[in-house]
Structure 1
Amino acid sequence: MPMLDTEALKASLPFARRFARALTGDQARGDAVVAACLRHGLPDLPGHLALHAAIAREVPEDPSSAVEPLSAIQRRLMLLTALEELSLEDTALVLGLSEAEATAELAAARENLKRAATTDVLIIEDEPLIAMDLRILVQQCGHRVVGLAASEDAALQLAEQHRPGLILADINLGRGGDGMNAVRRILRISHVPVIFITAYPQKLLTAEGLEPAFVINKPFDRLSVSIATYQAVSAGKVPIA
């Protein structure tokens, strides 16, 4: 293994785990990928990029499908730039592309996202303005919002009633309870992909108990919501690892 900045590597670990989970669509599979990368050795890149690069190489690239709007490289580009918030220069390094190649593929990926599959979405958020913003963003991504829940009980009721194909959940619901607990209750009755929304994603990636495969940083934007919803839905339907 090359000499790495171990402090930078440690600092990047929670976010690299998030990338692996988003790429594979599963907590256990994502963590297994990270463990394999650490065993096999990391590429000679700066510490904050080395693990991301190893993960991108560890997960096999499936052949593109005629019904699949994003190629494997486009998925990686979108996840690294939109969710991991890496610069285009750093993303190109991680994926072994030139900046020109990365720019062209990223532009194609953003255009292809318009053809992504749609689903019914339940939003769990106690702040009315944030819930409204999320509703607009989700609808702009082509999805249907089947309910807004401000509490655990309301979330469970709506999930039972509508059986959504995707859930977007805040962590702190104020007096309405806990978003993680709401999701635990829903997952007992339905297997559905979940995206958590938080200003502190590293607090959700502690290797203790239930952890999300998909996390959006607050404040969020349309692109991050778009790629997260696409990846969450498609990872459960299209094998990508």
Structure 2
Amino acid sequence: MSLGEQIAKNLPYLRRYARALTGSQSTGDAFVRATLEAALADKDLKSSLEGGRVPLYRAFNKVWSSAYMEVAEEGGEVQSHEDAASDRLRAITPLNRQALLLTTLEDFSMQEAGEIMGIAPDEVEGLVQEAVQEIDRETSTSVLIIEDEPLISMQLEDLVTSLGHEICGTAATRTQAQQVIAEKTPGLVLADIQLADGSSGLDAVDDILAIGSVPVIFITAYPERLLTGDRPEPTYLVTKPFQEQTVRAAISQALFFGSSRPLG
């Protein structure tokens, strides 16, 4: 397999990570493009990508980290301490959340995550444990589940409530989702793409976003179809069949950025 083919194969999943990391499709995709541009301009970096997925993510991590540092240095000269701190939270995902996303959403081993982040595996494990503890302390919110498979819907309900959140409603169709949001606007939405009556979870979410900005996590068996970078696409994507820790990490990251739109 050529280098171009290797990168093309892994690129959708790097976009998934980048979007979750930054809380934005546009920002995440921009950093992915910057990584590819850096590789084209640097022969050593380009050749390092031949090792597959881990080197690609490691290259992305270097580009993302260095770009953040430049922004922070520029902004620090003119912003108040409070504004700078607020912008920092919006601009960067803490190391413990990076470790959690890499080992859950992207399913890397502790060793692989350590290679990507440039730290030891045991340090990655410690960061993951910190992130899990943070999740347990997060403020609760109300969650709407849009899912047409009853067993999956019940599994998500159990997971959401175990995290201390409440269920404001469940829906198997776009119409049912409209009925739920007519009574209460959720603080978070978990949505399947294909619904029971042939309607789309994307359309159901658009109905909600017409009312207000709500973080949304899409759960789908075909994530690569929504990770092209060619159009407005979801920020948070979880692949079916999913692991509970993956959904848990995605919920935490979506709530971390709070008001970020899931599309655009």
Could you state the TM-score of these two structures normalised by the residue count of structure 1? 0.87
Matched, 1:162 2:153: no
Question: How big is the shift at 1:16?
Answer: 0.3
Alignment of 1:29-68 (within 5 A): 29-41=27-39, 42=45, 44=48, 46-57=51-62, 58-59=64-65, 60=68
Question: How big is the shift at 1:133?
Answer: 0.7
Match of 1:182 in 2: 204
Match of 1:20 in 2: 18
Matched, 1:217 2:239: yes
- 222, 226, 229: which one pairs with 2:251? 229
Q: Distance in 2 between matches of 1:211 and 1:218?
A: 18
- For structure 1, which segment, 107-116 or 215-224, has the greater mean C-alpha deviation from structure 2 after superposition? 107-116
Match of 2:163 in 1: 141
SS in 1 for 2:60: helix
Could you state the TM-score of these two structures normalised by the residue count of structure 2? 0.80
- Contact 1:6-1:47 within 8 A present in 2 as well: no
- Contact 1:78-1:227 within 8 A present in 2 as well: yes
Matched, 1:95 2:117: yes
* Consecutive unaligned residues in structure 2, runs of 5 or more: 40-44, 73-83
Question: How big is the shift at 1:183?
Answer: 1.3
State which structure, 1 or 2, has the greater radius of gyration over its C-alpha atoms.
2
Q: Distance in 1 between matches of 2:138 and 2:31?
A: 26
Matched, 1:6 2:11: no
Q: What residue identity is the alignment partner of 1:83? A: L
Question: Identity, % of aligned pairs?
Answer: 41
Q: Distance in 2 between matches of 1:128 and 1:49?
A: 36
Q: What residue identity is the alignment partner of 1:18? A: R
Change (3 A) 1:236 1:178: same
SS in 1 for 2:54: helix
Higher share in helix: 2
Change (3 A) 1:24 1:226: same
Change (3 A) 1:26 1:147: same
CA RMSD of aligned residues (A): 2.5
- Contact 2:97-2:128 within 8 A present in 1 as well: no
SS in 2 for 1:190: coil
- Contact 2:218-2:236 within 8 A present in 1 as well: yes
Question: How big is the shift at 1:11?
Answer: 0.8
- Contact 2:190-2:217 within 8 A present in 1 as well: yes
**How many residues are matched?**
232
Matched, 1:204 2:246: no
SS in 2 for 1:174: coil
Match of 2:141 in 1: 119
Question: How big is the shift at 1:64?
Answer: 9.1
